[in-house]
């Protein structure tokens, strides 16, 4: 039998494999006639000279298996993948559906292993600031099990597009300089920096990508062998994340169930998911572009306060004054809230104030614009934006002012009389109290005074709860 030798790069040589497949198919060379060999630096003379040939059209699922399969470290990968391609293109187009076929089974398992290796890499690569003159550059050391460096590039570019980063591995390195990607030689652990102040950022990133629905401590240990734990700054977050996982799952399910229905500004909402706003400014630009769900508002009223406030107050929707001035809580209810905050020792300038609904809705009566309560559907519509806002501000304590805020934060409608006091909003410590406008509406002075005292007590408690323990960073709340 006449054998043909094809030599490919000892890594994930997808281009080389594709080229070889085109030629082999054009020459109608069956798998049993091919010997595949690997070389760290193959030359044209290392094997058969592969000539250019027309592309072959593979079903998408097969092409994807090939892309993943070439990353596997199994030295037989190219031979197996070529057998698969050959059979698919020679009458077995639906081969992948036969899960019991030994070849399909093996290639599938390879692809699964590579996918798992990629996910581990996405989760465990830790960039650290490079020293010396390269303070604006970041580098990470990582040891993948398979040849996944190139395949992982789109993920890291997408997540860290604005950073100049390098990933060093024993099988090669890659650098993204904010504009272009380049590949370099293998590296050693000592080539990567050890630790730096960026660790805090990693903790935050890890917490925000943590998927509580998948939490399984035993599996986490299996996925993240102890040897990694020592080097990962965010392992400190893991016990807390596990503790709060079930509540976070509930919130995720609710979020899923209350995803906005397709209606007018749906494009802007979709844009939010597509664009993944990374700052409040980006989020606000999307909200502004969406415009009001119900026509009439002058402008969107965004949240206001420091980007990393300890307390986030969530109201219902802007009122007449807020709509005109473009700022939350500046009308009568806002003035009352200001007074109570002052008396409770909460500095408004240090808190973040926002609303469940970002546009004023009203009924026109003569010259007056009378506040109209938002419907559950409207609250639901604005909810993803509020959730994003929460994620961006990451307050220590979230305060729901009134039932609409509770609905927005939990997805459930609960009377304030039942929910008042400490609460949990997903991963966040929370507190439920009345809306200040409720106090304004009370009929007589005595009831008003009493209700105001109770409100003030809530704010005092909120003030205390939001004070973190300087030693542990934990809220008194979490320790209770």
Distance in Å, CB of 271 to ligand URA, minimum: 25
Closest CA to 433 of 313, 344, 284: 313
Q: With respect to ligand URA, which residue has the nearer C-beta, 193 or 303?
A: 303
Give me the 436-455 binding string for ligand URA, x by CB under 6 A, dash otherwise.
-x------------------
Tokens 């904010």 map to which residue? 178
Tell me the residue nearest to ligand URA as measured from the CB.
Answer: 315
How many residues bind to ligand URA according to rule CB under 6 A? 13
CB of 420 to ligand URA, least distance (A): 17
* 253 Cβ contact partners less than 8 Å away, ≥ 6 residues apart: none
Q: How far is the CB of 329 from ligand URA (least distance, A)?
A: 4
Q: Report the residue number, 152 or 437, with the smaller CB distance to ligand URA.
A: 437
Q: Which is nearer to ligand URA, 235 or 321 (CB)?
A: 321
Binding residues for ligand URA restricted to 327-356, rule: CB under 6 A = 328-329, 331, 333-334, 355
> Is 433 a binder of ligand URA (CB under 6 A)?
no
**Least Cβ distance, residue 245 to ligand URA (angstroms):** 31
DSSP 329-380: S-SHHHHHHHHHHHHHT--GGGSEEEESS-S--EEEETTEEEE-PPPHHHHH
When the beta carbons of 238 and 314 are compared against ligand URA, the nearer one is: 314
Query: Taking CB under 6 A as the rule, does residue 374 contact ligand URA?
Result: no
- What order of strands is seen across the sheet that includes strand 421-425? 352-355, 311-315, 397-401, 428-433, 421-425
- Which lies closer to ligand URA via its Cβ, residue 223 or residue 320? 320
Looking at beta carbons only, is 192 or 386 nearer to ligand URA? Answer: 386
**Is 458 a residue that touches ligand URA (CB under 6 A)?**
no
C-alpha dist (Å) from residue 286 to 265, 290, 305, 355, 388: 10, 6, 19, 16, 12
Residue 11 near ligand URA by CB under 6 A = no
Instruction: Give the footprint of ligand URA on residues 301-330 (CB under 6 A).
Output: 315-319, 322, 328-329
Would you call 411 exposed, middle or buried from its count of C-beta atoms within 10 A (0-12, 13-18, 19+)? buried
> By C-beta, is 77 or 371 nearer to ligand URA?
371
Least Å distance, CB 315 to ligand URA, is: 3
Q: Measured between alpha carbons, how far is residue 351 from residues 325, 354, 463 in Å?
A: 19, 10, 10
CA 243 from centre of chain: 20
Report the alpha-carbon distance of residue 84 to residue 17 in Å, rounded.
13
Distance of alpha carbon 336 from alpha carbon 350, whole angstroms: 17
Other CB atoms within a 10 A radius of the CB of residue 341 amount to 23
Query: Contact residues for ligand URA (CB under 6 A)?
Result: 315-319, 322, 328-329, 331, 333-334, 355, 437
């Amino acid at each position: 039998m006449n054998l043909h030798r094809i030599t490919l790069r000892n890594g994930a040589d997808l281009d080389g494999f594709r080229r070889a497949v085109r030629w082999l198919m054009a020459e109608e060379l069956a798998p049993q006639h091919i010997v595949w060999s690997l070389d760290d630096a193959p030359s044209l003379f290392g094997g058969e000279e592969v000539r250019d040939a027309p592309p072959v059209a593979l079903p998408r699922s097969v092409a994807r298996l090939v892309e993943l399969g070439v990353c596997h470290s199994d030295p037989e990968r190219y031979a197996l993948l070529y057998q698969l391609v050959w059979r698919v293109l020679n009458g077995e187009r639906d081969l992948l559906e036969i899960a019991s076929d030994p070849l399909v089974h093996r290639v599938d398992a390879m692809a699964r292993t590579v996918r798992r290796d990629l996910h581990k890499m996405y989760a465990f690569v830790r960039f650290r600031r490079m020293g010396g003159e390269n303070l604006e550059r970041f580098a990470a050391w990582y040891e993948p099990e398979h040849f996944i460096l190139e395949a992982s590039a789109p993920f890291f570019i997408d997540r860290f597009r604005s950073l100049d980063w390098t990933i060093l591995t024993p099988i090669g390195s890659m650098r993204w300089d904010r504009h272009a990607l380049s590949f370099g030689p293998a590296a050693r652990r000592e080539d990567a920096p050890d630790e730096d102040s960026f660790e805090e950022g990693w903790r935050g990133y890890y917490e925000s990508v943590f998927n509580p629905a998948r939490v399984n401590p035993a599996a986490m240990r299996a996925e993240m062998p102890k040897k990694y734990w020592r080097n990962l700054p965010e392992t400190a977050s893991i016990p807390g994340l596990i503790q709060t996982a079930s509540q976070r799952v509930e919130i995720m399910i609710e979020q899923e169930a209350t995803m906005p229905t397709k209606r007018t500004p749906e494009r802007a909402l979709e844009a939010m998911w597509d664009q993944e706003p990374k700052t409040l400014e980006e989020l606000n630009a999307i909200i502004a572009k969406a415009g009001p769900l119900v026509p009439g508002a002058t402008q969107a009223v965004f949240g206001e306060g420091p980007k990393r406030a300890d307390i986030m107050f969530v109201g219902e929707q802007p009122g007449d004054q807020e709509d005109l001035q473009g700022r939350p809580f500046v009308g009568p209810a806002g003035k009352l809230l200001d007074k109570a905050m002052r008396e409770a020792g909460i500095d408004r300038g240090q808190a973040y104030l926002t609303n469940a609904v970002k546009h004023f809705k009203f009924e026109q009566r003569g010259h007056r614009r009378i506040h109209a309560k938002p419907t559950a559907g409207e609250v639901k519509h604005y909810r993803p934006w509020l959730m994003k806002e929460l994620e961006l501000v990451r307050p220590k304590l979230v305060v729901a002012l009134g039932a609409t805020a509770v609905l927005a934060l939990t997805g459930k409608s609960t009377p304030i009389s039942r929910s008042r006091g400490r609460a949990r909003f997903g991963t966040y410590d929370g507190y439920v109290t009345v809306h200040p406008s409720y106090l304004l509406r009370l009929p007589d002075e005595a009831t008003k005074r009493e209700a105001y005292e109770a409100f003030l007590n809530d704010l005092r408690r909120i003030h205390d709860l939001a004070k973190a323990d300087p030693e542990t960073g934990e809220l008194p709340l979490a320790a209770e």
